[in-house]
Structure 1
Amino acid sequence: MAAAKPTLTDSLSFCLAQLTAAAGEGPGGGKDPASNETPLGRALLALRTRHIKAAGGIERFRARGGLRPLLALLRRAAAADPAPSQAGSGSAPSVASAASGPSPSSDSTHSAGSPSTPSPPVRLRKTLDLALSILANCCTEGACRAEVRRLGGILPLVTILQCVKTDSIQNRTARALGNLAMEPESCGDIHSAGAVPLLVESLTACQDSQCLQSVVRALRNLADSPQHRLALAQQGAVRPLAELLAAAPDPALTSALVRALLELSRGCSRACAEQLSLGGGLGPLVSLTSHPKRAVREATILILANLCAQGLVRPALGNAGGVEVLLGELRRRRGPNGASSASQQPLVRAVCLLCREAINRARLRDAGGLELLMGLLRDPRASAWHPRVVAALVGFLYDTGALGRLQALGLVPLLAGQLCGEAGDEEEEGREAASWDFPEERTPERAEAGSFRSLRSWLISEGYAAGPGDISPDWSPERCPLPEPAEPVSPTPGQTSLQTPRTLRTQGRSPAASAAEEPWGREGPALLLLSRFSQAPDPSGALVTGPALCGLLAYVTGAPGPPSPRALRILARLTCNPACLEAFVRSYGAALLRAWLVLGVAPDDWPAPRARPALRSQHRELGEMLLQNLTVQAESPFGVGALTHLLLSGSSEERVACALTLPFICRKPSLWRRLLLDQGGLRLLLTALTRPAPHPLFLFFAADSLSCLQGLVSPTVSPAFPPAVPLDLDPPSPCLYEPMLGPAPVPAPDLHFLLDSGLQLPAQRAASAMASPFFRALLSGSFAEAQMNLVPLRGLSPSAAWPILHHLHGCRGCGAALGPVPPPGQPLLGSEAEEALEAAGRFLLPGLEEELEEAVGRIHLGPQGGPESVGEVFRLGRPRLAAHCARWTLGPGQCPRKRALALVGLVEAAGEEAGLLTEALLAVVMGIESDGKGPSLDC
């Protein structure tokens, strides 16, 4: 079959020539534009169907200069259309200003002679239709968009949009503008040219789905920045979109509308939210969340999430079912097969914002939202959202049922952990996101609502406000923290409690005024919720626990600036509540308060210390105040009964905790003597030292408790160590054995002892026999050694034998006992000191044993010794040394950290055989020397 014969329109040059010729004819040039309609129409049709659609066709068309005559043709065609302008205010300039001259008149003669030929306006609109189609296709490429903008092609398009109301022309014009709007510079020019009101008008006037889709797409592309989105909303672009969506359009238009609303709702403005709500779009949006098309579902979910940024629309959104939809979607995305954290972020923000209105909080609570929010708080991967979630939970501050549920889910320890956690990177919400339970549009003269009067009355009755003037109708939980009583009030008649430290007191000011001056940092919401929990009749189960107390104390002692007085009031309120006394005892709370605040040792400071802010005096004052509050409770009739019940009838762990806590909170001698001494509390505590520790700081607490009890038993003991006496300044006693070692011994030895090493040591038989019953029987009895001048001493090294020989010849305190003792830091077990002690016992030399033990104590438990030496000394297993170790550990001026480290060493050295340690500590605490005369080794 022969190939088709080429036509003139197959040539791009011919088509461009026709286009240029048509564009170059002036409005009064002598030719009617309609007279050249057929060749121009064929050229435009060829350009659209063949040349532009070919590979690289758009680039060739632009390179050959086709855009300039195309735009000129559009200007002429638009000027030739007789349709009147229907644009409102803010529209594009008039047709006369856009065209180069008056519109050419139609050729009536030609029209009459050719009845089958369309009228000139019809032919012109056909030309306009083809030219707009070509331009819209060209504007799909970035280089053509830039060229059209450079040639001033935006204004003619806006003019056509204003003047030609045919659906096909509106469709292609909107498509061209939508393509141009993909460039930020062109987008700004389109806004400046006044295209937005014309596009909005097309939304309401056009009935064709294709045209509406093009207009909707153009509006979507014009929403490329926050400023442009706001301009679109302010010019009424959102409401027609919402109304179209509510009219249940076809699927293609629905998808376009959802995509456009998603763009317009980013950073949702007040105007956007108002128009979407007034246009009836909330219900359809909620319905579309179950759309079969995934893209529509996800876009709709994001629109609802964006709308939550505006408080005015959140109640209506909740009424439409948005709360359940957003919760369900967030729950799905957090499931095992859920989406990434980035996709969850807008939903988390939306759910948290929904907690600001009471009606939505009720829906969220009923839909399982509390459990979902708690799951977020427990998830370390969601740590950036934790401050936002805690702030959202403040909305439930006076929902008793929700608070109970949150407490049961474990909110309190999570809140305590938030006090000193890292701050998230969440952006702050604007004023428009505030709770709509307290709308901003109000006049000062209006009457107060009854609900507000009820709220204010409740706040005054509960003590949160001193009078009606302290609370204004603008109050909301997330904006203004509730004031609290400035000082704790004793919860039972007749009891007294210490006031807040003077650095935190308010003088001459109402509680509301003082609360307004309190710092409200990122920890404010958590503290407000914890304060609410602490006001319960019995907050012990939630707040008087290890994690909760550690969180509060970590915040108080580790806050970069002055801690919030609310945190101190929480602690004061808990220590003043009799219902919390047993919990403070069971959880070692009183011991923790003393260790952390008074002694400056936190759980993470043990055993290795960490640098902390130098505010010890303020912390110590707070700790002493809180312990005094507990003392008031403990010494009341209720407290005495509670402590007695714990010590006598509690579990083994509770009894130990009670015995350990009593020295901290009991000052009445009759009470602590009865519980600790008469009823065995002290021995119970000592016996528990070698068991598995029930608390990370148990041994630190125990050492401090025993030291405090020793101070109660012996209050006259000096609180400081006596001055240390250096060993080299101790005046030694004269040595009686050294003269026998010289070349001319005096007196002359009549006996030598032979050691295993072969060394022979001189001795006097009479002096040796008098020093010990062992040597008396050996050297003066019927043994063979009584007739020998060289008596062997087996199992004795020279260093261990040296103090024995000195002692046998009458040396007391000459320093020979110090010889076999290794320096601090070296083990005593297996040393020559242990060998000498064993030999002294074997040879029945109790005086030498005591002297050797004193030498070990002077070197290892003196000023040069440390806590690590205490366990080494105790491992020798000698009662007198065990008592010395106990005295060193519980010394009244000992550093608390060294005391605890020494007790750790003692417990490790004692192992399962704790009898010796128990008796030694008991004797020291009670002020009884185990041997009745042992020298003091405190110096």
Structure 2
Amino acid sequence: MAAAKPTLTDSLSFCLAQLTAAAGEDLGGGKDPATNETPLGRALLALRTRHIKAAGGIERFRARGGLRPLLSLLRRAAAADPAPPQAGPGSAPLSAALAASAGPAPSPGPAPSAALSSSTPSPPVRLRKTLDLALSILANCCTEGACRAEVRRLGGILSLVTILQCVKADSIQNRTARALGNLAVEPESCRAIHSAGAVPLLVESLTACQDSQCLQSVVRALRNLADSPQHRLALAQQGAVRPLAELLAAAPDPALTSALVRALLELSRGCSRACAEQLSLGGALGPLVSLASHPKRVVREAAILILANLCAQGLVRPALGNAGGVEVLLGELRRRRGSSGASPVSQQPLVRAVCLLCREAINRARLRDAGGLELLMGLLRDPRASAWHPRVVAALVGFLYDTGGPGVGYRLWGLVPLLAGQLCGEAGDDEEEGTEAASWDFPEERTPERAEAGSLRSLRSWLISEGYAADSEDISPDWSPEHCPLPECAEPTNPSPSPASLRPPRTLRTPRTPAHSPAVGATEEPWGREGPALLLLSRFSQAPDPSGALVTGPALCGLLAYVTGAPGPPSPRALRILARLTCNPACLEAFVRSYGAALLRAWLVLGVAPDDWPSARARPTRRSQHRELGEMLLQNLTVQAESPFGVGALTHLLLSGSPEDRVACALTLPFICRKPSLWRRLLLDQGGLRLLLTALTRPAPHPLFLFFAADSLSCLRCLLVPTVNPALPSATAKDSDPPSPCLYKPLLGPAPVPAPDLHFLLDSGLQLPAQRAASATASPFFRALLSGSFAEAQMDLVPLRGLSPSAAWPILHHVHGCRGCGAALGPVPPPGQPLLGSEAEEALEAAGRFLLPSLEEELEEAVGRIHLGPQGAPESVGEVFRLGRPRLAAHCARWTLGPGQCPRKRALALVGLVEAAGEEAGPLTEALLAVVMGIEPGARGPSPDC
């Protein structure tokens, strides 16, 4: 088959020449408009269908300079009447506009009849087709980046806006909107289109056009123009949202529906008040809820995200809930959380929306009925959702104000450890909400100048009747729950003076503001990121018996970590929670069982937190305030413990409680009991002290158990023996006395006086001189050896087996009468080196074998002087105890429980003692018992009834 015959329109040069001629550049005079227009129409059609669509065709068209004449043609078409009255296709303004692009008016002759012949369309239709083709070519060219830049440089945007204003034909509006939409994909073009005033014209097209294709192009253009928060706000303020919402409510065809939800999704990002109002007034809430179950995934997810974005505006949330949005958002969040492929990023907008819905009572009821409360609690338990935890906690606060949900607060009690952990946790990733996201339960009450509503009058009356406010002047008209949470009930009676920081004024004069806001006054409590968690914990602490939730290790640790670790002054609400718990008699047993009293003393008074043990960590230094708070809280517990109820509770715990409760009670008593009759009866007469000492070598029931035990034993020792001697008094006295003269040294010189009449032979072959008479009188062993019937009595060289030179050195000094000459220090290794297997242990064993008790005592004092001195390390205590000497065990106990000892060193020493004792707990128990009771080793005194 022969190839098709080439035509003139196959040449890009011919088409560009026709376009240039029609645009008025290089026009020839006297030509018939009809003969000029036919080649132009063919050229434009060829450009659109062949040259532009070919590979690289747009680039060639731009490189050959086609955009300039194309824009000139469009500009001439729009220049005839920039603002004509509304007219349909074929009207005079359209005809005049397009006639201007065709050249000068034709002269009289046969041409008009040719133009009006039946075989040729009328001029308005022919010229409108020319404009359609030119706009289609421009829209296609604007899909390429370089063309968009050149169109912007040549002023094409203003030409398109003028056409949009002048020509109201649906096909022209469609192609103009399509070109503007293609240009708007770049920020520079988007700004220019906004500046040219295209938005009102596009909005007008939404209401005037009936063609679905035209509407889709206009909707797409508006969507692309919403590329920034500023532009989205401008679109909403110019009324672009409501026509879109009304179109969506009119149930359009599927293609237009998809375009509408995509546009509304862009416009609702960072949803402004104007956007929310127009969506609601346009009737789009119900259709959006219906579209949330659309079979097409893109439409369905866009509708759900629009609903989530709308939740940022409080004014629309009640209507959104009435339309069924609460159930939709909850269901989608539940589905995404249950899907293994759903990422946390996809859940974030839904979590934010659900939390915002909790700000209105009507939506909270719907959330509660739909299982939303359990979903929020699940989020708070999920460590993967830690970035959202602060927002979730703030949402849960709203449920405390609901009277229609009995038991809601108690259902939240299981979250107390998580809430306490939120006090010192890291800030989440969610941004702070503006004032427009505030609760819409009291919309009229935000402006003080407005008339007071009936609901506010009722609320004020209730606050005054319940004692939350003294009079109506204490409540600001701007008050709302999420800005100014309700104050707590009256503080419990505190028998001891409390710090001034624990008694802030209880007023509701101004709304709460964030802690970092400069508007926080001196009389206001800070409402930072920890505020919601503290408010929930405060409400729980006001229950008749909050011990099951709040007086636990995790809850107390969270509160104390916040109080001691806050960068600034902690919220007075946290201090009131602690004061309220310690003043509640129902919490006394829980404080004992959970080691809460010991924790308060360790953390606040002694400055040792669980994270500080066993290695210390740097913390903010406000020791005096923390100590004062700790002493006040312990005093509160003391008042409860010494009351008749407390005495009965403690006695029951110690005598009838579980083994763990009995140990905890014995440990806690020295901290909270100051009556001698009480602690003597419970700890001494009823065996509490022995019970505590026996439990030291068992598995620890608390991470800080040994620290608590060391502190408890030290406190009890001070109660039993108010005036105790410092640790190791003999060692201290020896340090100050000069050493005694050495009586053995004269035997070692080159001319010994008197001359030795005996030598002791060691296993190493070393011979040590000695005096037989002095050695025989030193101990029964040497007397029998050297003066009895043994062969050694006749020998001048007597072997001493199993003795090293260093261990033999103090023995030779001792048998020759040396006392305190310093020889006993020789075999003792320096601190840090083990004593087991050392020459000191060998010397002690030899002193016992040779029946030298005074030498044993001197060697033990030497060990104590070197390893258990005032500057000794806690690690040395266990090493000394491992020698198994009763006197050294007593030295270790005195060093550990000494009144001036550092609490950390004391606890570390007790840890070493427990490790050294192992399963043989008897010696350790007896040593500690003797020290606590103030009984020196070997002395007789009162012993507790075990």
Query: Structure 1 length as normaliser, TM-score?
Result: 0.91
Q: Deviations over 1:582-634 (max 9, x none)?
A: 11111111111111111111111111112222211111111111111111111
SS in 2 for 1:838: helix
Is the Cα contact below 8 Å between 1:34 and 1:123 reproduced in 2? no
Q: State the Cα distance separating 1:362 from its structure 2 match.
A: 1.9
Is 173-182 or 893-902 further displaced after alignment? 173-182
SS in 2 for 1:24: coil
User: Are 1:487 and 1:499, in contact at CA under 8 Å, matched by a contact in 2?
Assistant: no
Task: Check 1:97–1:30 CA distance in 2 against 1; reply closer, same or farther (3 A cut).
Answer: closer
Deviation at 1:191, TM superposition (A): 2.2
1:501 and 1:622 in contact (8 A); partners too: no
**Could you tell me whether the CA contact under 8 Å between 2:261 and 2:299 is conserved in 1?**
yes
> How far 1:673 moved relative to its partner?
0.5
Asked if structure 2 preserves the Cα contact closer than 8 Å seen for 1:438 and 1:476, the reply is yes
Aligned to 2:609: 602
How far does residue 698 in structure 1 lie from its aligned partner after superposition? 0.8
CA deviation vs aligned residue, 1:511-541 (integer Å, no higher than 9, x gap)? 9998952222222222222222222221111
What's the secondary structure of 1:78's corresponding residue?
A: helix
The 1:517–1:103 alpha-carbon spacing in structure 2 relative to 1, beyond 3 Å, is farther
Quote the offset at 1:478 in angstroms: 2.7
Contact 2:199–2:238 (8 Å) recurs in 1: yes
Change (3 A) 1:177 1:524: same
Partner of 2:105: 103
Change in 2 beyond 3 A, CA 1:260/1:534: same
Q: CA deviation at 1:644?
A: 0.9
CA contact (8 A) 1:764 1:809 kept: yes
**Which residue does 1:617 correspond to in 2?**
624
Q: Is the 8 A contact 1:19 1:70 kept in 2?
A: yes
The 1:813–1:494 alpha-carbon spacing in structure 2 relative to 1, beyond 3 Å, is closer
Residues 183 and 804 of structure 1: CA distance in aligned 2, closer, same or farther (over 3 Å): closer
Once the two structures are superposed, residues 334-385 of structure 1 have per-residue CA deviations (whole angstroms, 9 ceiling, x without a partner) of 3352322222222222222112111122222232323333333333443332
Taking the aligned partners of 2:660 and 2:613, their CA distance within structure 1 comes to 22
Pairing 1:101-500 to 2, within 5 Å after superposition: 110=112, 114-399=117-402, 410-439=414-443, 444=448, 446-484=450-488, 488-490=492-494
Q: 1:720 touches 1:893 (CA, 8 Å); kept in 2?
A: no
2-structure distance, mates of 1:137, 1:89:
24
Q: 1:645 to 1:913 in 2, by over 3 A?
A: same
CA distance in 2: counterparts of 1:556 and 1:539, whole angstroms: 20
User: Does the CA contact (< 8 Å) of 2:90 and 2:125 recur in 1?
Assistant: no
Secondary structure of the corresponding residue to residue 943 of structure 2: coil
Deviations 1:461-503 (A, max 9, x none): 4443333222234222332344446964359999999979999
Paired residues of 1:630 and 1:665 also in contact (CA < 8 A) = yes
Pick which of 341-350 and 911-920 moved more: 341-350
- 1:422-462 alpha-carbon deviations (Å, 9 max, x no partner): 22343221111111112168665654334333333333344
CA contact (8 A) 2:504 2:523 kept: no
Write out per-residue CA displacement over residues 803-844 of structure 1, whole angstroms, 9 at most, x where no aligned residue: 223333333323332222222222111122212221222222
Q: CA separation in 1, counterparts of 2:84 and 2:568?
A: 70
Evaluate the alpha carbon distance shift between residue 29 and residue 458 of structure 1 in structure 2; reply closer, same or farther with a 3 A threshold.
farther
Distance 1:803 1:19, change over 3 A: closer
Please, which moves more after superposition, 770-779 or 653-662? 770-779
* 1:752–1:791 contact (8 Å) kept in structure 2: yes
Once structures 1 and 2 are overlaid, which stretch shifts more, 683-692 or 723-732? 723-732
CA apart distance, 1:109: 8.3
Gaps of 5+ in 2: none
CA contact (8 A) 1:888 1:938 kept: no
- In terms of mean alpha carbon deviation, does 339-348 or 213-222 score higher? 339-348
Q: Which range is displaced more, 741-750 or 627-636?
A: 741-750
How many angstroms does 1:115 deviate by?
A: 4.2
Shift of the alpha carbon at 1:81? 8.6
> 751-760 or 166-175: which moved more?
751-760
Looking at structure 2, the residues matched to 222 and 499 of structure 1 have their Cα atoms a distance apart, in angstroms, of 56
How many Å apart are 1:258 and its aligned residue? 0.8
CA separation of 1:43 and 1:27: change in aligned 2, threshold 3 A: closer
- The 1:881–1:86 alpha-carbon spacing in structure 2 relative to 1, beyond 3 Å, is same
**Percent identity over the alignment?**
91
- In structure 2, how many angstroms separate the alpha carbons of the residues matched to 1:598 and 1:410? 29
1:831-879, Cα deviation, whole Å (9 max, x unpaired) = 2221222122222222222222222212211234221111111111111
Q: Is the 8 A contact 1:135 1:176 kept in 2?
A: yes
- In the TM superposition, what is the alpha-carbon distance from 1:11 to its structure 2 partner? 2.0
Q: Which runs of 5+ in 1 are unaligned?
A: none
Instruction: Tell me whether 614-623 or 38-47 shows the greater mean CA deviation.
Output: 38-47
Query: Could you say what secondary structure the match of 1:511 adopts?
Result: coil
Q: What is the aligned length?
A: 939
Aligned-pair CA distance for 1:33: 4.6
After TM superposition, the structure 1 stretch with the greater mean CA deviation from structure 2, 638-647 or 471-480, is 471-480
Inter-CA distance 189–832: structure 2 relative to 1 (3 Å threshold):
closer
Q: Distance in 2 between matches of 1:69 and 1:631?
A: 96
State the TM-score, normalizing by the size of structure 2. 0.91
Whether the 8 Å CA contact 1:699–1:904 is kept in 2: the answer is yes
The answer to whether the 8 A contact 1:596-1:602 is kept is yes
CA, structure 1 residues 111+444, in 2 after alignment: closer, same or farther (shift >3 Å)?
A: farther
Q: Deviations over 1:361-411 (max 9, x none)?
A: 222223232333333333344333222222222222334787956755732
Q: How far off is 1:756 after superposition? A: 2.4
Q: Cα deviation per residue 1:208-228 (whole Å; 9 max; x = unaligned)?
A: 111111111111111122222
CA distance change for structure 1 residues 723 and 43 in 2, over 3 Å: closer, same or farther?
A: farther
Look up the SS of the partner of 1:440 in the other structure: helix
Q: Work out whether residues 767 and 809 of structure 1, in 8 Å CA contact, stay in contact via their aligned partners in 2.
A: yes
Change (3 A) 1:376 1:18: same
Check 1:665–1:547 CA distance in 2 against 1; reply closer, same or farther (3 A cut).
Answer: same
Deviates more, 1:314-323 or 1:661-670: 314-323
Q: Secondary structure, in 3 states, of the residue corresponding to 2:6?
A: coil
Q: d(CA) in 1 for partners of 2:792 and 2:368?
A: 96
Instruction: Evaluate the alpha carbon distance shift between residue 731 and residue 604 of structure 1 in structure 2; reply closer, same or farther with a 3 A threshold.
Output: same
> Bigger shift: 676-685 or 773-782?
773-782
Alignment of 1:791-870 (within 5 A): 791-870=798-877
Aligned counterparts of 1:636 and 1:668: Cα–Cα separation in 2: 11
Query: For the residues of structure 1 that align with 2:447 and 2:468, how far apart are their CA atoms?
Result: 26
**Structure 1's 512 and 296: CA in aligned 2 closer, same or farther, altered over 3 A?**
closer
Once the two structures are superposed, residues 57-107 of structure 1 have per-residue CA deviations (whole angstroms, 9 ceiling, x without a partner) of 222222222222222322344456999424999999999999799999999
Q: 1 CA distance for matches of 2:90 and 2:544? A: 65
Distance 2:306 2:875 in 1: 66
Structure 1 residues 346, 160: closer, same or farther in 2, change over 3 A? same
Query: How do residues 838-917 of structure 1 correspond to structure 2 at under 5 angstroms?
Result: 838-917=845-924
- Cα distance change on mapping 1:115 and 1:681 into 2, 3 Å: same
Q: Measure how far apart 1:162 and its partner are.
A: 2.5
CA deviation after TM superposition for structure 1 residue 744, in Å: 4.7
Q: What SS does the corresponding residue of 2:731 show, helix, strand or coil? A: coil
Give the drift of 1:27: 12
CA contact (8 A) 1:77 1:125 kept: no
CA apart distance, 1:324: 2.0
Range with bigger deviation, 148-157 or 100-109 = 100-109
Residue pair 1:92, 1:194 contacting (<8 A) in 2 also: no
> Using the alignment, how far apart are the partners of 1:877 and 1:179 within structure 2?
91
Structure-2 change in CA distance of 1:493 and 1:647 (3 Å): farther
Q: 1:810 to 1:919 in 2, by over 3 A?
A: same
CA contact (8 A) 1:868 1:905 kept: yes
Residue 17 of structure 1 deviates from its aligned partner by 2.3
Q: Are the equivalent residues in 1 in contact too, given 2:292–2:301 (CA < 8 A)?
A: yes
Mark the CA change 1:23 to 1:820 in structure 2 (over 3 Å): closer, same or farther.
closer
Contact 2:448 2:478 in 1 (8 A): no
Query: CA shift at 1:112, angstroms?
Result: 9.0
Contact 2:727/2:891, CA 8 A, preserved across alignment = no
Q: Is the 8 A contact 1:488 1:569 kept in 2?
A: no
Whole-angstrom distance in 1 between the partners of 2:399 and 2:108: 75
